[in-house]
A and B are shown apart, each in its own frame.
Chain A
């Protein structure tokens, strides 16, 4: 590429610091799922910090069934052209060729996502091999640390996407948070034991124990549909949120997007959350998780 800084002198691209640093820049901002350039513009105008470009939002993937894959490059290019904020896109778990394609398109972040149909039942992508940073989902600390040791630059919860039901994301945030707290109480021999239980490398476990947080940003995703949902995730320790179907499956996408941005920022201020929650119209229709069979649940995808 003509504009590739790696061609010059001593510049190092794709380093751990450059990837994690990108994730840090997205903090306190809302990342929104969009399926058209027009939606991307609405998201950008509402104050989204990045957009996730995909062909169908999770609610429709759920409805349509079949194999869900990486989006058409034309569609991703269209969204990249439409906005000046960063563009993310999803690949199937383990599908490193889809990731190579997205990297070549110049997307700014890749989500190795359980919302798409997994391509590998044993292995996730070796994310160190890429210049572009990755975000991965996790239901608990062990899963988060395995993804980080594979090179993920951001972790998000794995709430049931496309349901408008935040209960699973809550479970994941609470689980990750309490397991991090527990690590802080352990001495070194106990940390070796914890690493074994968590099925994660000792070095990363030790780092988390001493930092009292993950070494990469922790966001929440899955089922966030209202301003209060977004603020709940932040009060549970998420550094920001992804909103999937919740915005463009609602009655007033622009208004709801703006309200969720405000609630994410002022998450400790109930008066603001109350104000922005007024008159938003229909939220997306939710799905009660008891109505989903195990095969219809996405959180169990990923190993």
Chain B
């Protein structure tokens, strides 16, 4: 409905510029989000990649966590990549007990599940709902989704270290998350899907 939606990128830390570039190219109006009062102007929010520990601490310290929770609970669409996926998870595994998340997606996410940086990798992933070739996905100290609730749709999996399928892309209503970083690849299909969700939702 909104011809040109306003999409914020949470700018506490991480590869904010890369997300802004993709969203600009898709003709969204973009905002670097650093303070709670900016949230009111948004039709949708991207939570970028970065260090989830850092992002979570800063969100608490700068008073963004509760306002973010409120907006997401009230139905604002959001898309998280890597650390952003962790931020949108209702439950965490392999993280410090006091690590706070915004939550919203009924899933348990395991932090750094694929290992440290020397284990980071890229691989092609089939994503449900995307036309064309499998998505060339870049995983960096990446998490995976260990389990999901009934309302969550699994969009993609890759084999984990033990060859068992591991969930790396999910959607629950207006909320989306990927373990990998589409913003690093130049392939805009996943961001386009999110922009369409935001438009449909507004």
Q: Which A residues fall within an 8 A CB radius of B?
A: 1-15, 17-18, 20-22, 24-29, 44-45, 47-50, 84-86, 103, 106-109, 131-133, 258, 261, 265-266
A selection of 8 A-B contacts at a CB cut-off of 8 Å is A13-B118, A13-B121, A18-B138, A24-B184, A27-B50, A29-B14, A45-B57, A86-B141
Report yes or no: B54 in contact with A85, Cβ–Cβ below 8 A. Answer: yes
Query: Is B159 engaged at the interface, CB distance under 8 Å to the other chain?
Result: yes
Alpha-carbon distance between A133 and B123 when the two chains are bound, in angstroms: 18
Report yes or no: B123 in contact with A11, Cβ–Cβ below 8 A. Answer: yes
Report yes or no: B141 in contact with A27, Cβ–Cβ below 8 A. Answer: no
Other-chain contact of B95, A9, A84, A265 (Cβ < 8 Å): A84
Number of A-B contacts (CB under 8 A): 143
For B159, give the chain A residue with the smallest CB separation.
A8
Report yes or no: A27 in contact with B15, Cβ–Cβ below 8 A. Answer: yes
How many of chain B's residues touch chain A, expressed as a range? 35 or more
Residues from chain B with a CB closer than 8 A to the CB of A17 are 122, 138, 184-185
Chain A interface main SS type: loop
Report yes or no: B51 in contact with A5, Cβ–Cβ below 8 A. Answer: no
Alpha-carbon distance between A29 and B13 when the two chains are bound, in angstroms: 6
Chain B interface main SS type: loop
Residues from chain A with a CB closer than 8 A to the CB of B61 are 47, 258
Other-chain contact of B119, A1, A10, A86 (Cβ < 8 Å): A1
Residues from chain A with a CB closer than 8 A to the CB of B15 are 21, 24-25, 27
Q: Which B residues fall within an 8 A CB radius of A?
A: 11-18, 34, 49-51, 53-54, 57-58, 61, 82-83, 95-96, 111-112, 114-124, 138-141, 158-161, 163, 181, 184-185
Report yes or no: B181 in contact with A266, Cβ–Cβ below 8 A. Answer: no
Residues from chain A with a CB closer than 8 A to the CB of B13 are 27-29, 49, 265
Report yes or no: A132 in contact with B118, Cβ–Cβ below 8 A. Answer: yes
